[in-house]
């Protein structure tokens, strides 16, 4: 990893230079939250979909982190029950996009550029973001530890030429609860799939007392900070004209504690175990 990328990663792991304001999307008729820089015109914006049995509030640090780097970050707070509608969450993501672009935020000193929009999400919210991207052109999509949805996000991804960042946990990327590899394989446009070392798919959720009791793991602070940096760098590279962050879109960029996965590469063969006769022969030598 070059010194410049190392410095960038260290910088983006920390909060950005902007003071952050918090707002309530409910004022505009959509339950949810929005975090913005204190001021700015024609800002980039990302709308974020939450995971299963969680709420937008469980991603507060992530949304605040993005806002501190000059990105308006909003998240609808719907479909929180045990049997959510992924189509419903996708529709709410699009409604939230409309609010971000059509309503002056803050005291009227904050506006969003209509061509600097992204959709993102975690778990089922990642799939909902893909579903939404199939209905609205955006600058980028970010799927964090994506989970299967109905309809299948992979089917929609094949028709998208939007740049995509797909992050997955190395510990459970091939489990039934992750569709990161099929999603990256199906993606029609440029897709970057990174596996995070020692990360699990629910580690970025904050304060998950209910889910922890259900055996779904704890908050992983190191993985969360790395996720914040990777997501922020990717969004700044794809939604703004700042070339500083281009390394975060390059699959050749080496980033510590992550591995770029080529979904088209053949799986590595398991080493063959010697048969009993071969063992006997070896022991006689």
| pLDDT tens readout for residues 223-238 | 899 999 999 999 999 9
Work out the number of other CB atoms within 10 angstroms of the CB of residue 187.
27
CB 134 within 8 A of CB 153: no
267 burial level (CB within 10 Å; 0-12, 13-18, 19+):
exposed
CB 132 within 8 A of CB 85: no
Looking at residues 254-271, what average pLDDT do you find?
77
Q: How confident is the model at residue 20 (pLDDT cuts 50, 70, 90)?
A: very high
Task: Say how many domains are in the chain.
Answer: 1
pLDDT of residue 284: 47
**Average confidence score pLDDT of the chain:** 89
Range of the domain at 45: 3-284
Q: Which two tokens stand for residue 14?
A: 């920390």
Contacts of 221 (CB under 8 A, 6+ apart): none
Instruction: Examine the pLDDT at 277 and tell me if it is beyond 70.
Output: no
CATH code, 141: 3.40.50.1820
Q: How confident is the model at residue 276 (pLDDT cuts 50, 70, 90)?
A: very low
Phi, psi of 62, rounded to the nearest 5 degrees: -65, -45
pLDDT of residue 218: 75
Task: Count the residues in the chain.
Answer: 285
Helix, strand or coil for residue 32?
strand
Q: CA-CA distance, 121 to 125, in Å (whole number)?
A: 4
Using DSSP, how many helices (H) and how many strands (E) does the chain show? 9, 9
Specify the pTM.
0.89
Q: How confident is the model at residue 202 (pLDDT cuts 50, 70, 90)?
A: confident
CB 184 within 8 A of CB 36: no
| pLDDT tens readout for residues 84-139 | 999 999 999 999 999 999 887 777 779 999 999 999 999 999 999 999 999 999 99
Instruction: Examine the pLDDT at 186 and tell me if it is beyond 60.
Output: yes
Phi-psi region of 198 (alpha: psi -120 to 50; beta: other; left: phi over 0): left
CA atoms within 13 A on the CB side of 264: 4
For residue 241, what are the CA distances in angstroms to 67, 101, 195, 246? 17, 19, 27, 10
Looking at residues 146-165, what average pLDDT do you find?
97
């Amino acid at each position: 990893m070059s010194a410049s990328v190392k410095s960038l990663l260290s910088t983006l792991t920390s909060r950005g230079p902007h003071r952050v304001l918090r707002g309530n999307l409910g004022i505009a008729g959509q339950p949810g939250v929005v975090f913005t820089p204190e001021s700015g015109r024609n800002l980039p914006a990302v709308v974020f979909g939450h995971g299963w049995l969680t709420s937008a509030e469980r991603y507060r640090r992530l949304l605040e982190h993005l806002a501190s780097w000059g990105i308006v970050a909003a998240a609808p707070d719907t479909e929180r029950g045990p049997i959510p509608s992924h189509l419903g969450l996708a529709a709410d993501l699009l409604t939230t996009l409309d609010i971000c672009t059509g309503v002056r935020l803050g005291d009227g000193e904050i506006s969003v550029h209509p061509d600097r929009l992204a959709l993102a999400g975690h778990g089922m919210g990642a799939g909902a973001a893909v579903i939404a991207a199939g209905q609205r052109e955006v600058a980028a999509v970010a799927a964090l530890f994506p989970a299967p949805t109905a309809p299948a996000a992979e089917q929609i991804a094949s028709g998208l030429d939007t740049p995509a960042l797909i992050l997955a946990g190395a510990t459970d990327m091939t489990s039934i609860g992750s569709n990161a590899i099929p999603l990256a394989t199906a993606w029609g446009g440029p897709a970057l799939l990174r596996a995070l070392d020692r990360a699990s798919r629910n580690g970025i959720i904050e304060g998950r007392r209910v889910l922890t009791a259900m055996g779904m793991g704890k908050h992983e602070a190191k993985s969360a900070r790395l996720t914040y940096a990777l997501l922020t760098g990717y969004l700044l590279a794809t939604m703004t004209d700042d070339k500083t962050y281009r390394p975060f879109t390059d699959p050749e960029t080496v980033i510590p504690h992550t591995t770029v996965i080529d979904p088209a590469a053949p799986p590595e063969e398991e080493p063959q175990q010697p048969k009993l006769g071969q063992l006997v022969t070896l022991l006689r030598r």
